[in-house]
Structure 1
């Protein structure tokens, strides 16, 4: 009986050392991928639940609108929460009110270069850590479905910029007092802080580096674009930290607005 053929790629390649053990590491190499899975799972579960519940997402007195529902363009939206109109009619309960932008924002995160590394290693175990063999015998790269969609990251980036502009409008709108004039509360500061970090995460994207400095042969002939590219490049070194921070600030922002909108707590007012 002939021996089974040796794979020509992956960990079973004939050029690889024949080591039966998955790894010879003795440290807790599994901790990083485990924490990544837990962190991503917490956000996905929370965001999914909050996107579908359709309650406590709008504070009419102070114009607080959670990012998970912005922009709200349906007749199903709470009165006053639709500054951009309601071109969409009533939506059934199984469709989130933010269904127009949520898929694009999810696509932007899923195709992000950092998140790819994070869930490739932690979810697909490809590979889970350095010097730890992955369970897959072959790798086709991002050339087939579904991974070929990763190449559309730059287009998701363009939509993310538009959504960040809308979130900025929501933050400015939150400078609203109960009497209709200017006001500011803790919710206002939370919304402003969240949108600032979302902008930092968005413009630190590798696609933004390409937009600002890509396709240039001589930087010296384009000093403005070169300056923009250097600033984006500096911010890009913090892209991983911003990717995680913004997941946290999105949940904090939504959770605070939920507490105020449901009447669980009162907004801490600083002005008016």
Structure 2
């Protein structure tokens, strides 16, 4: 019987005196650490890559393609002012990379996403690192205090993500033009952009906030058949939210990298017609 004097029982958290006196760190025998380690490695790789590209401030436009990291370009210094849905909002005083302006919104949407919270809570904070594995923290305040209380603005980032997805859709349409802005072009980059925008929209629409907006606050689905069908459709996507989160994360990085290769001259965009 625990007496309450054991050191491990007075350390708080799952080792507090009110919890079962289990001396083992956990009872799992599988390689439970692989999943959080892979998640942390994947997210860290994207953070490193996107940070490099955001501050690179070069090779983000190769007609007719503009990197999704740099669209819409809202400063006078942008290379793509004549090619895409860009507006000279910030003028000439904006001296740093144009990507810094726009990346706040899609990154904010992903950072506050319910799935990504689970991913980096487990992968980076070990809160908890895996099912049936206790977290090392002595107490848990949830998302009720700063800075985690900011997670509650996820719905507003969803609205911004819809706008960004719309702009990227426009960029994808422009990818069917050649460097002389004549319609009828289709290259490998066009396919890359098409795949990316499909995944971006699938991930965005499968968001939990979207599901609530479509079918929330309804007492009788039978009285709202259209919203009910939309809710069912979004629910099916929502069941694959984790998969869509990862595939869209990879696709947007690949789309940017493709533009980088073409713009830097390392790769020539193959044309189908």
- Residues 36 and 207 (structure 1), Cα distance of their counterparts in 2 relative to 1, 3 Å cut: same
Kept in 2, the 8 Å contact 1:67–1:167? The answer is: yes
Q: 2:214 aligns with which of 212, 215, 232?
A: 212
Q: Distance in 1 between matches of 2:190 and 2:204?
A: 21
Deviations 1:206-237 (A, max 9, x none): 00001100011111111111110000001100
User: What displacement does 1:19 show?
Assistant: 2.0
Q: Normalising to structure 1: TM-score of the pair?
A: 0.92
Q: Note if contact 1:72-1:81 (Cα within 8 Å) is conserved in structure 2.
A: no
Aligned residues: 267
Q: Find the aligned partners of 1:75 and 1:234 in 2 and give their Cα distance.
A: 42
Q: Compute the TM-score of the two structures, normalised by the length of structure 2.
A: 0.92
Give a deviation string over 1:145-202, Cα, whole Å, max 9, x none.
Answer: 1111111111110000000000000000111023431211110111111011000000
Q: Is the 8 A contact 1:68 1:98 kept in 2?
A: yes
Aligned CA RMSD, in angstroms, stands at 2.0
Q: Within 5 A, what are the aligned runs for 1:123-138?
A: 123-138=124-139
Deviation of 1:76 (Å): 1.6
Q: Are 1:102 and 2:114 counterparts?
A: no
Cα distance, 1:141–1:180 mapped onto 2, change above 3 Å: closer
Distance 1:74 1:12, change over 3 A: same
Q: Secondary structure at the match of 1:184?
A: coil
Specify the alignment match of 2:35 in structure 1: 32
Aligned residue in 2 for 1:258: 260
Counterpart in the other structure of 2:55: 52
Q: 1:110 & 1:180 partners in 2: Cα distance?
A: 36
Please say if residues 91 and 97 of structure 1, whose CA atoms lie closer than 8 Å, have aligned partners that are also in contact: no
- What's the counterpart of residue 164 of structure 1? 165
Matches within 5 A, 1:1-272: 10-60=13-63, 63-79=64-80, 80-90=82-92, 95-182=96-183, 183-271=185-273
Work out the CA distance in 2 between the residues paired with 1:7 and 1:101: 48
Query: Equivalents in 1 of 2:222, 2:12: separation in Å?
Result: 44
Match of 1:269, SS state, is coil
Measure how far apart 1:91 and its partner are. 5.2
